Structures are given as C-alpha cells and as structure tokens.
C-alpha cells in the first residue's frame, strides 16, 4: 500500500506531476495504515483549490525510524470526504483546518469546531451539582500571547481543559503568496518571534529547494550555530520560567540573565537579539569573523557553565523536584496517538528530532543524539531542555572550529516551475514544517506552515486531565507553545 | 541553602546601569540615519523594503514601519541610509517618526498633572494583539534582574484594573479588537497607551493583512510609540522613562522635580 506514496526528501524539490493522485479511499486508507502499522505519522495535511475548481488534499507523512517522508494527494469529489480522524486521532486538527480554510467537510469528524475563530462557538461543558467552570483569557495575567482556556472542574480537580485559539490570526500563509521576496523573509521570521531562526531557515530551505540550489558549507555552519543559539536561549528561558512557577526564585533570576548571554551572542552576530535579518535564501547576511570565533567559544563556555550550575542547583533541591515529578503527565501512547513533536514528545519517550530523522543543511554532516526521557511529566520536559542546552553548546563549540573559508551568500535567481518543496527544521520547540508550491510561471502559489504547537496544544490539554487547576501554569510553561505559530 | 548562596556569589551582581555604560555591539542596528542630500532617487531601497517604510523625493523613512532589517542599507549605492547604534528613538506623536534627515523629535514628558501621578509609580498592563511574541520577550526582559525596570517604579501588573496604562503589541488582529477595547475601558482614567514595535505602531509586516488592523492607534489613542522589531529592552525602558520625565534631553537620568 505504501508504494502509492512518492518518497520525498526534506528541502528537496519534487515535481508537482510526480505527486501520485490517489482515489480518495486509497489515499485515506493508506494514511491510516502507514500511521498505524508502519510507524508513520502526519507531518502535514492540507488542501487547496484547483484552478478549474474542486479541492485537492495533500498528505505528507513521516516515518521517523527510517527517516523517510512520503507524499500523495487526492481529489475530493463534491465537497466532502470520509473523515480520517475516527481512525487516526492525530488528523483531527488538520481536518478541522481544511474545513475552515477551504470548506471541504470531513464527514463524520467527531468534533468539527473552529480552529482560529474567536466567536460563534459553544465550549464543551460538564453538568452536575458541584461542577464549576473557569474561563481564562484571551488577555492573561502575564506578558504572554492571547488564547482562551476553559477548565471544567470539580473543586481543584480538572476534568477537562479546552484551549481555544485564533486571537493572533494575521493570515501569514496567504500573505506569503502575494508578498515580495524581502517581505516573505520578514513574514517567515515573524511566524513566531521566539523561533526567528527556525522559521527563517525553513523558509530559506524551501526557496533554495524550489531553486534547486545549495548554500556553501560555511553558510550552513553559521545557520546551524544560530539555530542552536536560539535553542539554548529559549531552553534557558524556559528553565527560568519553570523555576519561577514552582517558586524557586534564585534559579528564576539567574536563568533570566543567562538567557540574555545567548541572545547577546545572536546580537553580536546579526545585530538583533533574536537573529532577525541573518538568513536569506542563498546563504546568510553576516559572517563569523575569526576574532568572533574565540570570543564566542569563551562566552558560550562561560554561559553554559553558569546555566549548568543553576540547573544543578534546581535539580538538587528536593522540593523543586517533588513539584515537577508526576505533574502533567502525557504518556508515551498518548503522545504517539496525537502526533506530538519536539521537546514534549521526547519527554514522553518518542524519538522525534528532525535534525536526526530528516537532516537538512549542516545536520546532514553531523548526527545528533536525541535527548529523551520517558516519564512524560513536567520534570521530563524540564530535563530534556537541560540536556539539550549542554548538547547544543557542545555542537556550537565543535562547529566554530570547522568553518571552511568560503563565501556566505549566493543569490537565487529563479524558482523551478510547477514544483513542491517540504522543508522541515527542528526548532527549539519542535519540528517546523514549511511546504511551498510554485505554479507554471515559477511563482510561489501556495504556502503552508505547521508549527510544532499545532501538534502539541492537544498534549497540554491531556496533561491537565485529572490534574489540579493549580498545575496549569507549570504545565503550560513546560510546553511553552506558540500562539502566533498556531494562529498564523 | 549553602549551595544557593555559593551560586549567588558566583553569579555576582548582574543589573545593568541605566543608561548603559557600555556601547552596543558593532553590528547592532539602532536608530537609522537618513541623508536626503545623498539620495539620487534610484528606487532600489523602495523596491526591497519589506514594509514600504521608505518614500523618495525627498527621502523619508517611517520609523513606525521600519523592521530594522538590512535591505535598504545594503541596496543603497550612495549610502543615504545607515544604522546608528543609538538606542533612543521613542516618540510621542506618530508624525515624529518620519525620519527626513533632521533630528528625531523624541518623546516629551507627560503634562505635569499626569506626570505627578505616574512618575514614581507606573503600573502597566500588556495586551498582545497579533504580535509574534518577539515584543513580549523583550517586555518580559525589562523586568528581569538585568534590566530591572522596577527600580524606577515601573511594573507590569496582572489586571487592567490595577493598571495606569496599557502596552499594546501587534497589529491588532480582528480577533483581538474587542478584547483590546474592553481592556482599555477597564483601565481607570487618566490612562496612557504605549505602542511597542512596528506592528503596534503601523501594522508593520502585517499592514496589508486581511484579518488585522493597522496597529494600536487604529483602535485606541496612543501616547508613546516605541519603534523596533522588536525594540531592545533598553529602548523600551528609555521610552517609558522619557515619557515620565525621568530622562533629560542629553539622555541621562534625572531626579524628578515633581
């Protein structure tokens, strides 16, 4: 059955004509079969309208253990098809998105609620004598993005948490099509402002793939260094936020400052604390000068040493660990069923890291060891971050010593016609997927983004189930998902 | 406990002086400088500017739209645009953000009556309305031990009912318009509104979005504009403190007379 799907490589071009168009039952059954019996999962599932009318649905599946990506499409007859979700839970949000974006209805979908609309929707509610409901947001108490959370509680116990988003909806995907190239780069960097490098890189790989161009090894190394700096800075910030939420204030303050050390390295390299304007299709805009290499080595070593000291202080404190352990558990099976990715998936024991499974750019030359835990609780999500901080620092130190003398930028003139590229980057939060298509004139005619948060918000809902409502801030920080990345 | 103290000693004192004593790094992109007399109207910059922040004859750069990228600087053959390392660029009026070669008119202190109320204690509530989370991270940073804006009596509070004003980020998406209006209404008078970042000032990269507005000013009256993408924490602090009359014309701190 799997031979119906075409094999795809991360960030490599595929002709639109080479994508198999299956009949809808075969397409649907193949997805279910590959995900259930062959260790596959949905990387992206989207639809668009064909020129002559009618919708075409595309599915991109990933088989992590083999490092293979598969793609196939189907044409929807009429305006509905038999929903996949009943057989494969991880499709639930993708199918709702397809319905909301292009109006094709997955018939029999268990709960076809809006994905990014702020009104006209009734929340799930429980009834009973002592049941009460807590509504939070969109404007929150902290400085965070807007989203709405509905808790159905009995005393402190949470029976159900429902997360409703869409407040950050800016329409990035549509704007990516009409915008000029320099604006596209800025839009990609603004999908999620905490993942500037990861989203920027996913966009650059997509355009380079469509232009069938490679960048120099020096550019690849600089890109990887900045991606790992972004990872360390955000992980350190998250450790601080978790420390703050358990009331361990020394670690909270120190991590806040240590995070800035890594942001300031990005500032030295790119002129911006989040690395904006570094990446462009064809290479990078800023080089790492020889005197910077030594400075970076020194500051990274010092920064990581401070982070390790503070993390050890935190992990050696029994009351901190007691608060983190067994809070907000997402089991291995749950994580697999809902298709979780990134840090949260690895904390539940899944070996999912796009740098290892679907390597592109510099990661083709360097095998990454996946950091994972098995308990699936807040502790595991904290611990995975800590391990990754150390591993990323080692990687940067290694890369700084391996920079070939080359140009860092070659412009990309034209994109191939009628082609598709799927570009996957493992950002600090998890895998970011950009899928781009060109039309017969070589212009970008379709753009689809999947943020790791799109997979993982459901994980946060599950983590709270039967927990205490007071566990919510801690669970939320341990996932630290993006609202803007989900809402697009 | 011993371990906590040992780590505390090793970490040392980390709060930065304000205004900072150290210069910003070489590549830092601060306040742009424009030289209209050098411009020969070749239009290369207007073609590449991602947010259409530049207009020609005469050369004008709208700091409220600028996302501080490299495009205009690297495309200009006559070097009519360049970045300085200046951190101070907040303005009190939208029109003051149009850079035309003359000196930028920085934000002025609030009128005496309002300043008397706020200059030693200003409580602010943040409303994110379509921002990418970049400005949020810098707004969180101004509260950390490094920047520590609370030493000036400025704090971010959890409810608009506790606040003297709002900080708005993002272009104000259609889905957040109502929430912003309600939050604004919940703040007691007199109140101030601060727009942080290109999106909140003009819509920034999302100016032409079909599901967002053109910044905070399109929904509520704005008292202070802090440009950037995102603005550096020190730029945010500088803007707020200048509005409170806590910074003199030469950029130094001053002890308030009020």
Q: Using only the alpha carbons of chain B, give its radius of gyration.
A: 19
- CB count within 10 Å of CB A99 equals 21
Closest-CA residue of B relative to A144 is B136
Query: What is the pLDDT, as a whole number, of residue B257?
Result: 46
pLDDT at A279: 95
The Cα B59–Cα A362 span in angstroms is 41
Q: Which chain B residues touch A194 with a CB distance below 8 Å?
A: 133-134, 137
pLDDT at A3: 59
Chain A residues with CB-CB distance to B10 below 8 A: 306, 309
Whether B159 and B112 have beta carbons less than 8 Å apart is answered as no
Beta carbons of B183 and A274 less than 8 Å apart? no
B53-104 residue pLDDT tens: 999 989 999 999 999 998 999 999 999 999 999 999 999 999 999 999 888 8
pLDDT digits (tens, 9 = 90+) for A187-244: 999 999 999 999 999 999 999 999 999 999 999 999 999 999 999 999 999 999 999 9
Cβ–Cβ under 8 Å, residues A208 and A11? yes
Closest CA to B236 of B177, B179, B196, B186: B196
Over residues B208-223, the mean pLDDT reads: 93
Q: Collect all residues of chain A within an 8 Å Cβ-Cβ radius of residue B141.
A: 256, 260
Q: What is the pLDDT of residue A118?
A: 63
Query: Are A204 and A281 spatial neighbours (Cβ–Cβ below 8 Å)?
Result: yes
Q: What tokens does B99 get?
A: 């850079």
Q: What is the pLDDT of residue B105?
A: 85
When CB atoms are compared, the residue of A142, A169, A277 closest to B211 is A169
In this prediction, residue B251 has a pLDDT band, given cuts at 50, 70 and 90, of: low
Give the 3-state DSSP-derived string for chain A, with helices as H, strands as E and coil as C.
Answer: CHHHCEEECCCCCEEHHHCCEECHHHHHHHHHHHHHHCCEEEEEEEEEECCCCCEEEEEEEEECCCCEEEEEEEECCCCEEECCCCCCHHHHHHHHHHHHHHCCEEECCCCCCCCCCCCCCCCCCCCCCCEEEEEECCCCCCCCCCCEEEEEEECCEEEEEEEECCCCCCCHHHHHHHCCHHHHHHHHHCCCCCCHHHHHHHHHHHHHHHCCCCCCHHHHHHHHHHHHHHHHHHHHHHHHHHHHHCCCHHHHHHHHHHHHHHHHHHHHHHCCCCCCCCEECCEECCCCCHHHHHHHHHHHHHHHHHHHHHHHHHHCCHHHHHHHCCCCCCCHHHHHHHCCCHHHHHHCCCCCCHHHHCCCHHHHCCCCCCCCCCCCCHHHHHHHHHHHHHHHHHHHHHHHCCCCCCCCECCCCCCCCCEEEEEEEECCCCEEEEEEEECCCCCEEEEEEECHHHHHHHHHHHHHCCCEHHHHHHHHHHHCCCHHHHHC
Interface touch B136/A116, C-beta < 8 Å: no
Please choose, from the candidates A90, A88, A85, the residue with its C-alpha nearest in 3D space to the C-alpha of residue A108: A85
CA distance B156 to chain A (A): 8
Chain B closest-CA separation from residue A255 CA (Å): 10
**A70 touches A33 (CB < 8 A):** no
Contact A192 B230 (CB under 8 A): no
Mutation target among B54, B72, B73, B128 for the A interface, most CBs of A within 10 A: B128
Over 50: is that where the pLDDT of B138 sits?
Answer: yes
The CA-based angle B63-B68-B74, given to 5 degrees, is 115
Confidence of residue B115 (pLDDT cuts 50, 70, 90): confident
Tell me the per-residue pLDDT of B233-249, one tens digit each, with 9 for 90 and over.
Answer: 999 999 999 988 888 76
Q: Please, which residues have CB within 8 angstroms of residue A449's CB and are 6 or more apart in sequence? A: A172, A173, A191, A199, A202, A432, A433, A434, A435, A485, A488
Q: Find out whether B138 and B231 touch, Cβ atoms under 8 Å.
A: yes
Per DSSP bridges, beta strands A14-15 and A55-63 are unpaired
Question: Are the Cβ atoms of B230 and A193 closer than 8 angstroms?
Answer: yes
Task: Name the minimum distance, in Å, from the CA of A180 to any CA of chain B.
Answer: 7
Q: What is the pLDDT of residue B258?
A: 42
CA distance B205 to chain A (A): 7
| Residues B160-180, mean pLDDT to the nearest whole number | 94
Closest CA to A274 of A197, A164, A177, A363: A197
- B228: contact with A, CB 8 A cutoff: no
Each residue's pLDDT tens digit in chain A (488 positions)? 455 889 999 999 999 999 999 999 999 999 999 998 878 999 999 999 888 888 999 999 999 988 889 999 999 988 999 999 999 999 999 999 999 999 999 999 998 889 998 667 788 888 888 899 999 888 888 899 999 999 999 989 999 999 999 999 999 999 999 999 999 999 999 999 999 999 999 999 999 999 999 999 999 999 999 999 999 999 999 999 999 999 999 999 999 899 999 999 999 999 999 999 999 999 999 999 988 999 999 999 999 999 999 999 999 999 999 999 999 999 999 999 999 999 999 999 999 999 999 999 999 998 899 999 999 999 999 999 999 999 999 999 999 988 898 999 999 888 999 999 999 999 999 999 999 999 999 999 999 999 999 999 999 999 999 999 999 999 999 999 999 999 99
User: Which among B132, B220, B233 is the top mutation candidate for probing chain A, defined by the most A β-carbons within 10 Å of its own β-carbon?
Assistant: B132
Contact yes or no for B27 and A196 at CB 8 A: no
Phi, psi of A288 (to 5 degrees): -95, 110
Integer Cα distance of A21 and A26 in angstroms = 10
State yes or no: cis peptide before B58, omega within 30 of 0. yes
ipTM here: 0.91
- C-alpha to C-alpha distance for A204 and A281, rounded to whole angstroms: 4
Higher pLDDT, A17 or B107: A17
């Amino acid at each position: 059955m799997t031979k119906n799907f075409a094999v795809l490589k991360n960030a490599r071009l595929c002709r639109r004509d080479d994508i198999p168009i299956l009949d809808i039952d075969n397409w649907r059954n193949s997805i279910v079969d590959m995900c259930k019996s062959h260790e596959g999962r949905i990387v992206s599932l989207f639809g668009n309208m064909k020129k002559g009318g009618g919708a075409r649905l595309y599915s991109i599946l990933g088989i992590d253990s083999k490092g293979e990506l598969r793609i196939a499409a189907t044409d929807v007859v009429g305006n509905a098809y038999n929903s996949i979700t009943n057989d494969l839970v991880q499709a639930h949000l993708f199918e709702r998105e397809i319905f909301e974006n292009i109006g094709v209805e997955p018939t029999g979908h268990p709960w076809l609620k809006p994905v990014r609309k702020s009104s006209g929707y009734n929340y799930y509610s429980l009834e009973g004598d002592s049941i009460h409901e807590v509504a939070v947001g969109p404007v929150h108490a902290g400085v965070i993005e807007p989203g709405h959370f509905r808790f159905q509680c009995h005393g402190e116990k949470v029976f159900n948490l429902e997360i409703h988003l869409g407040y950050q909806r800016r329409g990035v995907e549509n704007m990516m099509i009409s915008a000029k190239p320099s604006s596209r780069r800025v839009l990609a960097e603004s999908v999620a402002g905490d993942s500037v490098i990861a989203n920027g890189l996913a966009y650059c790989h997509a355009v380079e793939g469509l232009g069938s161009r490679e960048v120099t090894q020096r550019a690849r190394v600089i890109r990887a260094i900045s991606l790992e700096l972004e990872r360390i800075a955000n992980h350190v910030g998250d450790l601080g936020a978790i420390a703050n939420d358990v009331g361990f204030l020394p670690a909270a303050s120190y991590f806040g400052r240590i995070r800035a050390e890594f942001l300031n390295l990005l500032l030295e390299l790119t002129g911006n604390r989040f690395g904006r304007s570094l990446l462009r299709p064809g290479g990078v805009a800023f080089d790492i000068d020889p005197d910077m290499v030594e400075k970076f080595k020194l500051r990274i070593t010092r920064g990581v040493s401070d982070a390790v000291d503070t993390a050890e202080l935190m992990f050696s404190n029994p009351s901190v660990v007691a608060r983190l352990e067994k809070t907000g558990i997402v089991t291995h099976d749950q994580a697999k069923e809902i298709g979780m990715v990134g840090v949260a998936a690895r904390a539940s024991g899944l070996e999912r890291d796009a740098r290892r499974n679907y390597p592109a750019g510099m990661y083709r030359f360097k095998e990454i060891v996946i950091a994972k835990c098995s308990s699936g609780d807040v502790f595991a999500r904290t611990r995975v971050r800590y391990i990754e901080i150390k591993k990323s620092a080692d990687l940067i130190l290694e890369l700084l010593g391996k920079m070939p003398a080359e140009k860092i930028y070659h412009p990309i003139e034209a994109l191939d016609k009628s082609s598709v590229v799927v570009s996957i980057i493992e950002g600090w939060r998890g895998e970011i997927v950009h899928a781009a298509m060109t039309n017969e004139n070589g212009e970008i005619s379709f753009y689809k983004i999947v943020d790791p948060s799109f997979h993982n918000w459901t994980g946060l809902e599950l983590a709270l189930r039967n927990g205490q409502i007071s566990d919510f801030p801690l669970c939320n920080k341990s996932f630290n998902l993006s609202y803007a990345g989900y809402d697009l | 406990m011993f371990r906590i103290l040992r780590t505390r000693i090793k970490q040392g004192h980390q709060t930065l002086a304000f205004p900072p004593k150290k210069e910003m790094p070489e590549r830092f992109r601060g306040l742009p400088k424009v030289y209209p007399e050098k411009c020969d109207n070749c239009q290369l910059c207007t073609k590449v500017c991602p947010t259409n922040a530049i207009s020609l004859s005469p050369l004008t750069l709208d700091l409220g739209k600028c996302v501080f990228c490299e495009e205009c600087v690297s495309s200009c053959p006559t070097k009519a645009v360049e970045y300085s390392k200046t951190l101070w660029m907040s303005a009190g009026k939208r029109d003051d953000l149009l850079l035309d070669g003359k000196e930028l008119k920085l934000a002025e202190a609030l009128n005496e009556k309002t300043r008397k109320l706020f200059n030693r204690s200003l409580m602010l509530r943040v409303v994110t309305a379509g921002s990418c989370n970049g400005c949020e991270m810098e707004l969180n940073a101004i509260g950390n031990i490094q920047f520590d804006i609370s030493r000036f009596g400025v704090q971010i509070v959890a409810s608009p009912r506790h606040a003297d004003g709002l900080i708005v980020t993002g272009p104000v998406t259609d889905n957040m318009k109502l929430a912003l209006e309600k939050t604004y209404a919940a703040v007691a008078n007199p109140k101030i509104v601060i727009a942080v970042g290109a999106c909140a000032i003009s819509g920034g990269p999302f100016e032409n979005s079909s599901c967002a507005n053109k910044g905070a000013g399109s929904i509520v009256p704005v008292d202070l504009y802090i440009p950037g993408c995102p603005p550096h924490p020190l730029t945010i602090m500088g803007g707020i403190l200048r509005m409170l009359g806590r910074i003199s014309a030469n950029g130094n701190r001053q002890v308030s007379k009020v």
